[in-house]
Amino acid sequence: MIVLLAFLSISAACSGVVEEEPSSPSFLKSDMSFNNLDGEIPTYLRDNPPKSFVGNKGLCGHVQGFLSCFQRHRLAPSFILSVKIFLPLTPILAFTIFGFILLLKGKSENLKLVTRAAKNGDVFSVWNYDGKILYENLIDATEYFHIRYCIGTGGYDSVYKAELPDGKVVALKKLHHSETEDSAFVVYSPQCMFFIYEYMERGSLFCVLRDDDEAIELNWTRRMNIVKSVAHALSYLHHDCTPSIVHRDISSNNILLNSNLEAFVADFGTVRLLDVDSSNRTLQAGTYGYIALELVYTMVVTEKCVIYSFGVVALEVLMGTHPGELLLSLSSSSGPKIMLIDILYQRLSPPINQKIIQDIILVSTIALACLRSKPKSRPTMQRISQELEGKTPMKKGLKEISIPEMRNQEMF
């Protein structure tokens, strides 16, 4: 009878019928567990211990362990529907995830196998391409560019035929000059065309100049040799190639150093062949701080633009940093009288060897001539290359010669 009354009371509360509170104390303290009851637990029963309602899935109300009736009515249908949908799918979902993990693992193993096979596999695949292996294969295939593999020669390059270990035959176009980055060449195949360069261990001149340890290792002799190497490379491009080749982005970032700190001109992505029958007008190329002013205004690329950039690089080698402030002072006719010794890299001891001193003065004089505002008054790269190999300028010390004095030299 107690259970029946409780069921009726709870059912009535759920239907909105207000029941009077029973007066029987035994009813108020009754145990209603496991009776399959449904509805809201009446207010007068909420003081009963929660265990007295256990086993009645349909009950709701403000009793510990039960949802409020609002939450139950709002969430229950969707929750039950979700359980009905996803519970049968759980084994399938788990199996799918497990299979996907196995698939990824298998692909990872296959990629490793492909990479290991790259040495004699498809060297032109993007996924397993190894530049060092390809470079070594090309060297082996041509016996380091032996004449027997040469199939053509141009004004500034030679073309070689090479058969790779996987049977592919490619044509290699190699630049002649040793200081336009040693062993720089273009690879042609039915699939692609790209440049290959010998790896330069020390990276760019820009980075070496700004590294405290490497900059010290770059002594005055090595710095002079870097300037000479760049000058010889540019002279070759301008005067020994037909048509002339203009590198439109000469900067310390595009001069690479090998393990012996020898310099090579790199990044031929911006080169242009000078055609006397065309305007040579171009979209602006180059690095800010190295571009000649006339190129900004006219957008016409000439060898004189490259010579200006070379002058900036030469001063950067001497100073250890970009000569931005010095360039500004040079643009003023009433600039201060700066002594050469004051602009040299301060962390290196001033040279005492007379030949090195004269080389520094010569490089400084040439660099300043390259920076002249009138392009026609700048020397050619051929003349610069020749001067660097022979002529000795004025017999003065570094502390005795000034920047204005070197600018007024009639060397060119």
130 is catalytic: no
Give domain status of residue 313, yes or no. yes
pLDDT digits (tens, 9 = 90+) for 215-234: 999 999 999 999 999 999 99
Helix axis angle, 303-319 to 220-239, nearest 10° = 170
**Residue 383 in this model has a pLDDT that exceeds 90:** yes
Which is higher by pLDDT, 234 or 397? 234
Q: Which of 7-16, 281-290, 399-408 has the highest mean pLDDT?
A: 399-408
Q: What tokens appear for 386 in the block?
A: 């020749």
Average pLDDT over residues 51-55: 73
Catalytic residue among 47, 130, 182, 249: 249
Which of 51-60, 196-205, 263-272, 279-288 bottoms out in mean pLDDT, i.e. has the lowest? 279-288
Same domain, 185 and 223: no
Residue 66 lies in a domain: no
Q: What is the pLDDT of residues 328-380, one digit of tens each?
A: 888 776 656 899 999 999 999 999 999 999 999 999 999 999 999 999 999 99
* Cα–Cα dist 242/349, whole Å: 43
How far is it, in rounded angstroms, from Cα 101 to Cα 77?
34
Determine, yes or no, domain membership for 61.
no
pLDDT at 6 over 70: no
In a domain, 391, yes or no: yes
Instruction: Give yes or no: residues 394 and 267 share one domain.
Output: yes
Do residues 141 and 161 lie in contact, with contact meaning Cβ atoms separated by under 8 Å? no
Q: Where are the alpha helices (DSSP H) in 257-353?
A: 293-298, 303-319, 324-330, 340-343
| CA 213 – CA 233 distance, rounded (Å) | 27
- Is 261 in the same domain as 379? yes
Residue 60 lies in a domain: no
Residue 68 lies in a domain: no
Q: Domain total for the chain?
A: 2
Are residues 269 and 179 located together in one domain of the fold?
Answer: no
Going from the C-alpha of 281 to that of each of 299, 302, 390, 404, the distances in angstroms are 6, 9, 36, 34
Where on the phi/psi map is residue 164: left (φ > 0), alpha (ψ -120 to 50), or beta? beta
Q: For residues 374 and 231, what is the distance between their CA atoms, to the nearest angstrom?
A: 20
Is position 162 within any domain? yes
pLDDT digits (tens, 9 = 90+) for 263-297: 998 776 555 555 544 444 555 567 889 999 888 78
Domain identity same for 195 and 211: no
Report the DSSP pairing between strands 203-204 and 245-247. unpaired
Residues 240, 175, single domain; the answer is: no
Q: Are 147 and 134 in contact (CB under 8 A)?
A: no
Cα 144 from Cα 360, distance rounded (Å): 37
- Cα–Cα distance between 322 and 399 in angstroms, integer? 22
Tell me the pLDDT band of 127, cut-offs 50, 70 and 90.
very low
> Do residue 382 and residue 328 come from a single domain?
yes
The percent of residues in the chain predicted with pLDDT above 70, rounded, is 59
Same domain assignment for residues 277 and 383: yes
Considering only residues 318 and 50, tell me which one the structure prediction assigns the higher pLDDT: 318
355 and 276 in one domain?
Answer: yes
CA distance 328 to 307: 18
Q: What Å distances lie between residue 12 and 26, 65, 99, 138, CA to CA? A: 20, 22, 53, 92
Cα(173)–Cα(176) distance, integer angstroms? 10
pLDDT for the residue numbered 319: 98
Three-state DSSP at 118 gives helix
Any idea what the CATH number is for the domain that residue 317 is in?
1.10.510.10
Give, in degrees to the nearest 5, the angle at Cα 233 between 228 and 237.
145
CATH code (residue 192)? 3.30.200
* pLDDT of res. 177: 53
Whether 172 maps to a domain, the answer reads yes
290 shares its domain with 387: yes
Boundary of a domain, candidates 156, 171, 199: 199
Percent of the chain with pLDDT over 90: 29
pLDDT band (50, 70, 90) for residue 257: very high
Average pLDDT, the chain: 74
β-strand partners of 264: 256
Q: Which residue has the higher pLDDT, 405 or 195?
A: 405
DSSP class per residue in 104-116: HHHHHHHHHHHHH
Judgement on whether residues 291 and 157 belong to the same structural domain of the protein: no
Are 379 and 366 in contact by the 8 Å Cβ rule? The answer is: yes
180 and 313 in a common domain? no
Domain range for 328? 203-408
